Amino acid sequence: LKILFSSRIEAPERWLPLLQSLLPEDEFVLEGGNDIDVAIVASPHPGVLKRLGNAKLIQSLWMGVERLLEDPDLPRNVPLARLVDPGMTAAMTETVLAHTLDWHRRLYRYREQQKTRTWKRFRQYMASDHTVGILGMGALGTAASRPLLDLGFKVVGWSRRAKTVEGVACYTDLHEVLLRSDVVVCLLPLTAQTQGVLNLENLKKIREGGGVINCARGPHVVRDDLIAVLDSGHLAHAWLDVFDKEPLPEDDPLWTHPKVSVTPHAAALTEPRTAVVEIAKNIEAVRRGERPPHLVDFQAGY
């Protein structure tokens, strides 16, 4: 097969040697025309997408595909696969766990106290005293629920379609999840339905003193609504990895808000060592004339 790699962000030298070693008989190219069989893309170079009408698969290097779907050049007749990368999934689990424990153990408050050299203990809670609400019970949400449950947290999950995940109370009604949650973790795909889901009305439903962790996409959270619930004292802290505009502009109030921890869209990066295994599986499926898993539902938008 002739396989195109095109990205303005991911470096081909990190990817091509690993891909070539798993797919030794295929030809990898960095530019190509109508003869491409499979295109591996992540912010592809301009003009690339519109020449892919004859391809058998467009494989995203990322899990989020909302930018590709917005692009009018994306051929809608070609199957588009999201990358469900075990390394990226594991990284997200680590990050969700780190931030949840930061809230649960009150470490964000101890950091504030350190600034004023204040030695004061807060009341300790058991994990089973707290409920973590996960918005988005796909691969990421399901994986993140596991160690939280193992530690003893109660976990509730929200998804568009009814799901069954062991140990997690799953709801399709967001209201039910928010009312039960001390910490809300957003791992949703960005679609017309999920944009702005963490707005004032919904943020107020989270339990008093709770936290918000957004590791999905910036527009899931209405920034000024979040600042309002933090300033009112209803919520205690927010951990934000994603923003409406990235890099987060220097004058954005989130940078300096004392109740906000900012990370630079680094919650979970694609891990080439594990991702290439998934990509190779998808390409082998194409070679056999089969449809790979995790194809984007253009109607649902992810």
Q: Which residues are catalytic?
A: 217, 265
Residue 191 binds a second copy, judged by CB under 8 A = no
Residue 67 binds a second copy, judged by CB under 8 A = no
Least Å distance, CB 201 to a second copy, is 28
Among 26, 94, 112, 225, indicate the residue that binds a second copy (CB under 8 A).
94
From 160, 191, 189, select the one nearest 174 (Cα to Cα): 160
Residue 122 binds a second copy, judged by CB under 8 A = yes
Q: Which is nearer to a second copy, 255 or 298 (CB)?
A: 255
Question: Distances from the Cα of 62 to the Cαs of 89, 144, 273, 295, in angstroms?
Answer: 11, 18, 14, 13
Contact partners, residue 61, CB within 8 Å, separation at least 6: 7, 10, 15, 40, 41, 42, 83, 270, 275
Residue 45 binds a second copy, judged by CB under 8 A = no
Residue 43 binds a second copy, judged by CB under 8 A = no
Residue 142 near residue 155, CB atoms below 8 Å: no
Residue 255 binds a second copy, judged by CB under 8 A = yes
Least Å distance, CB 164 to a second copy, is 22
The total number of residues shown for the chain amounts to 302
Backbone angles phi, psi at 118, to 5 degrees: -100, 125
Residue 97 binds a second copy, judged by CB under 8 A = yes
Least Å distance, CB 287 to a second copy, is 28
Residue 64 binds a second copy, judged by CB under 8 A = no
Question: What whole-number distance in Å separates Cα of residue 199 and Cα of residue 192?
Answer: 14
Query: Which single residue is written with the structure tokens 């107020």?
Result: 204
Contact partners, residue 211, CB within 8 Å, separation at least 6: 99, 100, 103, 182, 183, 184, 235, 236, 237, 238, 239
Angle ∠(149,153,157) on CA atoms, nearest 5 = 75
Least Å distance, CB 51 to a second copy, is 31
Least Å distance, CB 239 to a second copy, is 9
Can you give the binding site for a second copy, defined by CB under 8 A? 87, 90-91, 93-95, 97-98, 101-102, 104-107, 110-111, 113-114, 117, 119-122, 124, 126-127, 147, 150-152, 246-248, 250, 255-256, 261-266, 268-269, 271, 273-274
